[in-house]
Every structure is written in C-alpha cells, then in structure tokens.
Amino acid sequence: MRVVIAGGHGKIALLLEHLLAGRGDQAVGLIRNPAQAADVRQAGAEAVVCDLEAASAGDVAALLSGAAAVVFAAGAGPGSGAARKDSVDRGASVLMAGAAERAGVRRFVQISSMGAGQPPRPGRDEVWAAYITAKTAAEDDLRSRDLDWTILRPGHLTDAPAAGRIRLAAPPVPAGSVPRADVAAVIAALLDEPGTRHQTLELTGGDSPIAAAVRSIS
C-alpha cells in the first residue's frame, strides 16, 4: 500500500515510515526542506519536496496519484506562533484533505491532539489557544468530507521507547502521555482497519496491546 505522509520528517512520521517500510508498504514523506530527504530515505520512505503552506490542492493531488492512504502528521511545532498554527495545523490539513478528495484517495488518518473539539481551556496562553482552535477546525473540515477519515488525538507526546500498550477510545479519555513510537504503531494499525473510519479517537498510554485496542474499536 502506498501511503503519503504530510510532514514526512516529523518525529512520528519518521517512526511510521520505518514501520511501514518494514511491513512492505511504500511510504512517501512530504517535506518542505530538501536537506531532510536523506533522513526520510533512511527511514525507508520516498522523500518528496512539497511545502504545504505554499502548494495548491492541484499540486498535492498530483502527488497523491496511486496512493491508498494519506496520513496527516505535520504540525507547526514548538516555538511557532499563532499564525503558523493556523497555516499548518489547520491549513495544511485542509489542503491535504481536499487533495485526497480530488485524487480519489479515500483513507485519511489525521493526527490531531487531545484538547481539540472543545474551546481552549481558560488560563492557557494565546498560542495554545490558536493551536487548539486550528486542530478543531482541521477536524471539523475533515468530518465534512466524503473520505474514510479517522481522527487520532494523542495526549502529551514523549520520545520514550514504544511501550506497546495503550488506551484508545472515543472521547473523553483521561489526560495522559504516550510515546511517539506507540502513536506511529497505532496509525499503522489504523491503516489496516477500515472499520475505524468516521471515528474520533483519543490515545494515551494504557494496558491494551495496540492490535487488540484497534480491533476492539473497529
């Protein structure tokens, strides 16, 4: 299966590319900085340069030709301001979803965040509010489309080694953290379970083995 990953040099994206390559899938990582291509190839994926804040839906749709699925793993990242939360966390997701519709690629897994889907908690800073607003708008956009989407909202991400055990359920899941390696493994499993389409799922560390957790909600 050919899987196009938006934000192909992200920490989760690189882990996912490695997993997909290991099971014989063809991963394609979209990056904006050509210097990152070597890392993406090292992870076992094809690297394609595409700045998701500059590309058109037509440009991206052309890149999706022959793909079976899209994973949105991009994000403006720490240190970015409110404007880039909107242009990446919302805008790039909207761009990818529109391009997927145009290209006829139905399966779309979006990495969102716990906290999305409700107004930003009072007392948090303006950039956090912009982030949650952008993630919520990206989710709403995706739900409105004729795609086989799954929205995955991880809790706080860590770089700890994979634990292999998670809590995955419809909201609300109590706040918690989860290793990026487990998020990548959950996405790989979701791609194999079309029965998880049209679901919004929250994810933290937990007690359930990943395959069983994904099967149980599909």
Residues of this chain that bind ligand NAP (CB under 6 A): 7, 9-13, 30, 32-33, 51-53, 73-77, 88-89, 92, 111, 113, 154, 156-157, 180
**Least separation, in Å, of the C-beta of 187 and ligand NAP?**
10
CB of 157 to ligand NAP, least distance (A): 4
Which tokens sit at 157?
């991400």
Looking at the Cβ atoms of 110 and 196, the one nearer to ligand NAP is 110
> Least distance (Å) from ligand NAP to the CB of residue 89?
6
Q: CB-wise, 103 or 181, nearer to ligand NAP?
A: 181
Q: Which CB sits closer to ligand NAP, 23 or 33?
A: 33
Residue 30 CB, shortest distance to ligand NAP, in Å, is 6
Query: What b/e readout covers 93-122, taking b as 16+ CB neighbours within 10 angstroms?
Result: bbbbbbbbbebebbbbbbbbbbbbbeebee
Position 58, amino acid: G
Pairwise CA distance, residues 123 & 153, whole Å: 22
Nearer to ligand NAP, 47 or 214 (CB): 47
Is cis: bond before 172, omega within 30 of 0?
A: yes
**Taking the CA of residue 144 as centre, how many other CA atoms within 13 Å lie in the half-sphere pointing to its CB?**
9
* Least CB distance to ligand NAP at residue 148 (A): 20
| Torsion angle of the four alpha carbons 216, 89, 34, 44, in this order, in degrees rounded to the nearest 10 | 0
Pick 24 or 139: Cβ nearer ligand NAP: 139
Closest chain position to ligand NAP (CB):
10
